[in-house]
Amino acid sequence: MRIGILTSGGDCPGLNAVIRGAVLNGIKTYDHEFVGFQDGWRGVVEGDVVDLPRQRVRGISKQGGTIIGTSRTNPFEGELGGPQNITATLERLGIDAVIAVGGEGTLAAAKRLTDAGLKIVGVPKTIDNDLDATDYTFGFDTAVQIATEAIDRLRTTGESHHRCMVAEVMGRHVGWIALHSGMAAGAHAILMPEQSVPMEQVAQWVREAHERGRAPLVVVAEGWVPQDTDEAYSDRGLDSFGRPRLGGIGDRVALGIEEATGIESRATVLGHIQRGGVPTAYDRVLATRLGMASVDAVSDHAWGNMVALRGTNIYRVPFQAALNNLKRVPQHRYDEAAILFG
């Protein structure tokens, strides 16, 4: 078979390990051939492909990003989009099946295309770890490792200046990165979209840590909303040098803490650093195994399925299983972490 692989949505450490795992398993076990679609669904709709021979994937599992590029292109949009056009493009290129590596949006598009008759298998991908039907997604472990190291470094400034340090981590809808990096780094408060907490409670945790002589550390997921949302925060903020605060949630939390406690506070937004650079060993292994399993699924003609992790095994689930719900941090995981707050 001639198989096309695409990586779509935000880049994520481990994407290259998926590609390598798929290509090596496909060539060695099944004698398949591989091409990569350039820049996600854009390469599919425009028929823009590169060959992926064995030598092209040599040594790439430790590289960050994706060697075939990514984008947030919607395959149903544009003159060349939609199932009929894409089927014609794949026929013209002699491509028998597609492996789509991506998050919720990618898998939803893959499901629609499979329902229309295309031959697609999926691989779940997101640093946020919010895809259902898989225990973990590759990229998450790397993001947590990077965030933890960054928070450890913020601690030294906090201790030296007797400040409260606030780290804003990724997580638009869920707090998995905040939970794990916050627990690992010993944060005094972890704020996540799943838990609505008043600013006064956050200030209280900070006071408790400060009174024990600690430099308070707060980790906030980018999607957290304070219970007592006050839009005026962004207007009020000037730091102790008179510099305007930017108004992101990290800055708003730092300002709220400073106003409530009088403790000088600073925020750091970790942003895309969490997605950059080399994947951890755990992510390389998980991504390699998922890539290999996706080729087994293609070889079994298991169209419309995604490969996923349950416990230590890789199994297959229909796309829909990953799309029904976001995987949020459950209450018991938050309660466990909250014992450590303050």
Residues marked as catalytic: 128
Q: Specify the pairing of strand 265-269 against strand 217-221.
A: unpaired
127 binds ligand F6P (CB under 6 A): yes
> Exactly one of 10, 250, 279, 304 binds ligand F6P (CB under 6 A); which one?
10
Whether 86 has a binding-site annotation, put simply, is no
Which listed range, 13-21, 105-113, 120-128, 326-334, lies at the site for ligand F6P (CB under 6 A)?
A: 120-128
Which listed range, 124-132, 206-214, 248-256, 302-310, lies at the site for ligand F6P (CB under 6 A)?
A: 124-132
268 binds ligand F6P (CB under 6 A): no
172 binds ligand F6P (CB under 6 A): yes
* Alpha-carbon span 271 to 267, nearest angstrom: 12
Task: Convert residues 210-249 into a mask of x (bound to ligand F6P by CB under 6 A) and - (unbound).
Answer: ------------x---------------------------
161 binds ligand F6P (CB under 6 A): no
14 binds ligand F6P (CB under 6 A): no
Whether 163 has a binding-site annotation, put simply, is yes
Nearest to 286 by CA among 304, 318, 308: 308
The closest residue (CB) to ligand F6P is 170
> Exactly one of 266, 275, 289, 328 binds ligand F6P (CB under 6 A); which one?
275
Which amino acid, one-letter code, is at 209? A
CB of 89 to ligand F6P, least distance (A): 26
Count Cα neighbours of 231 within 13 Å in the Cβ-side half-sphere: 0
Whether 222 has a binding-site annotation, put simply, is yes
Whether 106 has a binding-site annotation, put simply, is yes
CB of 288 to ligand F6P, least distance (A): 21
Whether 73 has a binding-site annotation, put simply, is yes
170 binds ligand F6P (CB under 6 A): yes
52 binds ligand F6P (CB under 6 A): no
Whether 243 has a binding-site annotation, put simply, is no
128 binds ligand F6P (CB under 6 A): yes
CB of 221 to ligand F6P, least distance (A): 9
| Per-residue 3-state assignment (H helix, E strand, C coil) for the chain | CEEEEEECCCCCCCHHHHHHHHHHHHHHHHCCEEEEECCCHHHHHHCCEEECCHHHHCCHHHCCCCCCCCCCCCCCCCCCCCHHHHHHHHHHHCCCEEEEEECHHHHHHHHHHHHCCCCEEEEECCCCCCECCCCCCCCHHHHHHHHHHHHHHHHHHHHHHCCEEEEEECCCCCCHHHHHHHHHHCCCEEECCCCCCCHHHHHHHHHHHHHCCCCCEEEEECCCCCCCCCCCHHHHCECCCCCECCCCHHHHHHHHHHHHHCCCEEEEECHHHHHCCCCCHHHHHHHHHHHHHHHHHHHCCCCCEEEEEECCEEEEEEHHHHHCCECCCCHHHHHHHHCCCC
CB of 152 to ligand F6P, least distance (A): 21
Using CB under 6 A, list all residues that contact ligand F6P: 10, 126-128, 170-172, 222, 275
Binding residues for substrate: 126-128, 163, 170-172, 222, 266, 272-275
Binding residues for ATP: 10, 72-73, 103-106
Binding residues: 10, 72-73, 103-106, 126-128, 163, 170-172, 222, 266, 272-275
